[in-house]
Amino acid sequence: MLKKILIANRGEIALRIIRACRELGIETVAVYSEADEQSLHVQLADGAICIGPAPASESYLRAERIIAAAEIADVDGIHPGYGFLAEDPDFAEQCEECRIKFIGPKSGSIRMMGDKAVARETVRAVGVPTVPGSPGVLADPNEAIKVAESIGFPVIIKAVAGGGGRGMRLAHNSMSFHREFAAASNEAAKAFGNGAVYVEKYIEEPRHIEIQVLCDEHGNRIHLCERDCSVQRRHQKVIEEAPSPFVTPELRKAMGEAALKAAAACDYWNAGTVEFLVDKDRNFYFIEMNTRVQVEHPVTEEITGIDIIKEQLRIAAGEPLGITQDDVKILRHAVEVRVCAEDPARNFAPCPGEITLYYPPGGHGVRLDSHVYGGYIVPPYYDSMIAKVITFGRTRELALDRMHRALSEYLIRGIKTNISFARAIVRDPVFAAGEATTKFVEDFLARTPRDLLARTNEELDQSTENT
C-alpha cells in the first residue's frame, strides 16, 4: 500500500481524501494557499505545506510547486481530486517522470480523452455509440457546412479542447452555420489556445447520464452503474442522483458495457466517468470521458456501498480490484445537492463572506461532505461550492423526502446560498416524477417566482413563528 500521499486540492474533496487515507493507514500531506491557512484540510492532514498566494493560478494550479512540495515531504503519491490539475496530462506526466504515483489514470489516457474529437473517434472505433457527426476536426468552413447538411440541422459545433459546455455553438441552418462555426472556433482559440472544432447532430432535450467505472492496472474493469445529472444550470450540476429514474435494467447493462469499452479503448485505469446523452427514446450517445473522480461520486458510493476514493488508492498501489461486476448491486436510491455560496436573487452571483451561524443537517439517511463551519470565511478565489448534501433510502421517494427534510434543517447565515432553490426543485412535480431533462432548470426558473428562490430557511422559520 502507499505509505504517504500529498493531496493537491482544497475544500471538501481534500477532506474526503484525508478521511479515506486515515481509514487505510496512509499518512497525508495537505497543500494550501495563503487564503486557506485556516482550512479544515490543513488542520486534519498529518502535515501541510503552503504553496503560494490565494489565486489558484499562483497556488493550486502550479504543478512545479506541488511537485516540489511532494519531494520535500517525500510522499509516494499525489491525489489530484477534481478540478485544478486533475485532468492536466502534463502534470500527470511530470509525476510519472519524478516517480511519484499520480492517483488517477496514466498521462496518455488523460491526453487522449482531453481531445474531445480524438475521444469520440477512439470510442466509436470500438463500437460505442456516438452522436452522428463529423469524423474528426473540421478546419475548412465549406467542408464543415457539407458535413452539417448531410447530418441535417440543427447541429452543434463543439471545441476539441472544450468540454463541460464551453466553446459550444448551435446552428439551425446553413446561413447561421457560417457565423456560429467562426464564433465557436474563435471562442475556443481564445479560451483554450486551440480553435479546432467538430460538428454533431443536435440532440433535443437529452438527459445527461454518466457511468462510473473502476479499472485496475491489470486490465480488470467494472462499472458502478449510472448517475443522472440532468438537473444543471449553465452546465453546472445542481442535483445528481442514482440510479436514474429513466434508466431501465436493459439500458443500464448496455450503457455499462459501452462505458467499459470506452475505458478499454484508452487503456484506462483508476476511477473514471463516461458521459452520455440519452434521448427520449432511450438511445444513448457517448459525449466525453472524465478522467478524474467527480464531485458527485458519493451518490454512487451510497447506492453501491463501495468507497470510490479507497478504491482509487488501492488501484494506485497496484492492487487488483477486489470487486467483480457481479458484486456490484444497487442497494438503495441516493440524491446529492450541491450547496453553493451564491445568490439566486442576483442571477446566482457568487456570495463569499463569513458564515456567522451554521447548523448542519444530520440524522438517518443523511451524509454531509463539507469543509465549512460556523465562523468560516468563504474565500472569493475558488469555486462557490461549500457543501454536498447526500440523502439516501430504500426508494427514490424516501431519498427525496429526506433531502427536503435535510435542506429544511440546514441553517447558514452571513452568506446567501442556493439551499431554498434546491429545496424547491426537490418538491417540483416534474423533478419528483423523474422527468427532468437538461432543459429542466431553465423551464423551472421561468415558471418560479424569484422571491421564492431567494427566501432563506430562517425567513421561512420566521414566517412560521408568526403563525
Write out the residues near ligand MV4 by the rule CB under 6 A: 131, 156, 163-165, 168, 200-203, 206, 208, 232, 235, 277, 287-288, 438
Name the residue nearer to ligand MV4 (CB basis): 180 or 200.
Answer: 200
Report the candidate in 420, 273, 399 with the shortest Cα–Cα distance to residue 334: 399
Least distance CB 362 / ligand MV4 (angstroms): 31
How far apart CA 321 and CA 260 sit, in angstroms, is: 15
DSSP helix/strand/coil, 245: coil
Residue 450 Cα to chain centre, angstroms: 27
Instruction: Name which of 236 and 408 has its Cβ closer to ligand MV4.
Output: 236
Closest of 109, 147, 55 to residue 291, by C-alpha:
109
Query: Which residues are within 8 A (CB) of 118 and not within 5 positions of it... i.e. 6 or more apart?
Result: 112, 160
CB nearer to ligand MV4: pick between 311 and 428 = 428
DSSP 170-208: EESSHHHHHHHHHHHHHHHHHHHS---EEEEEPPSS-EE
CA 445 vs CA 265, 348, 349: distances in Å: 40, 12, 15
By annotation, the residues acting in catalysis are 292
Q: Closest by alpha carbon to 241, among 94, 113, 396? A: 396
The three-state secondary structure class of 110 is helix
Nearer to ligand MV4, 187 or 216 (CB): 187
In whole angstroms, how close is the CB of 116 to ligand MV4 at the nearest point? 9
Give least dist CB 186 to ligand MV4, A. Answer: 19
**CB 259, CB 213: distance < 8 Å:** yes
Closest Cα partner for 378 from 344, 353, 350?
353
| DSSP bridge partners of 319 | none
Residue 244 to residue 240: CA distance in whole angstroms: 9
CA pair distance 134, 262, nearest whole angstrom = 19
182: nearest Cα among 219, 138, 225: 138
Least distance to ligand MV4 from the beta carbon of 207, Å?
8
Q: CB-wise, 104 or 162, nearer to ligand MV4?
A: 162
Cβ proximity to ligand MV4: between 169 and 333 the closer is 169
Please tell me the total number of residues recorded for the chain in this structure. Answer: 467
Given the complex with ligand MV4, which of 22 and 201 has the nearer CB atom? Answer: 201
6 vs 255 by CB, closer to ligand MV4: 255
- We find the least distance from the C-beta atom of residue 367 to ligand MV4, in angstroms, to be 24
Residue 78 near residue 66 (C-beta atoms within 8 A): yes
User: Cβ 376 to ligand MV4, closest distance in Å?
Assistant: 31
Q: Which residue has the cell 447493462?
A: 253
Are the beta carbons of 79 and 41 closer than 8 angstroms? no
Separation CA 400–CA 334 (nearest Å): 8
Please report where in the chains the cell 460538428 appears, as a residue: 199
Q: Which three cell numbers stand for residue 427?
A: 418538491
